[in-house]
Amino acid sequence: MQQKYLLASIFLTLILTIYFGLNDAKGQGVIKGVITDAKTHETIVGANVILQGTTMGASSDLDGNYEIKNIPEGTYNVVVSFISYSTKIIPKVKVSKGQTIVLNIEIEEKVSSIEGITVTASRRNDTEISVLSSIRQSSVIANGISAQTIQRTQDRDASEVIRRLPGVTLMDNRFIMVRGLSQRYNNVWLNGAATPSSESDARAFSFDVIPSSQIENILVYKSASAELPADFSGAAVMVSTKSLTDENNISIGYTASYRQGTTFKDFKFYHPGNLS
pLDDT digits (tens, 9 = 90+) for 231-241: 888 889 999 99
In whole angstroms, give the CA distance from residue 87 to residue 212.
66
Say what percent of the chain tops pLDDT 90: 17
Whether the per-residue pLDDT at 36 is higher than 90: the answer is yes
Domain of residue 12, CATH code: 2.60.40.1120
Q: Please check whether residue 256 lies inside any domain of the structure.
A: no
Same domain for 103 and 144, yes or no, is: no
Asked whether residue 28 falls in the same domain as residue 75, the answer is yes
Q: Which strand ranges, in their side-by-side order, compose the sheet holding 193-194?
A: 142-146, 215-221, 236-241, 187-190, 193-194
| Domain, as residue range, for 176 | 128-241
Helices H, strands E: what count in the chain?
4, 15
Q: How far, in Å, CA of 225 to CA of 221, rounded? A: 9
CA-CA-CA-CA torsion sign (70, 76, 82, 88): positive
DSSP string computed for 7-40: HHHHHHHHHHHHHHHHHHHHTSEEEEEEEEETTT
Q: Is residue 255 part of a domain?
A: no
- Looking at the fold, whether 15 and 83 belong to one and the same domain comes out as yes
pLDDT of residue 35: 92
> What confidence category does residue 17 fall into, taking pLDDT thresholds of 50, 70 and 90?
low
Number of domains in the chain: 2
Pair 60, 8 in one domain = yes
* Residue scoring higher pLDDT (226 or 254): 226
Looking at the structure, tell me whether residues 86 and 54 fall in a common domain: yes
CATH of the domain at 153: 2.170.130.10
Is the pLDDT reported for residue 86 higher than 80? yes
Write down the pLDDT at residue 25.
Answer: 47
Q: Say whether pLDDT at 32 is over 70.
A: yes
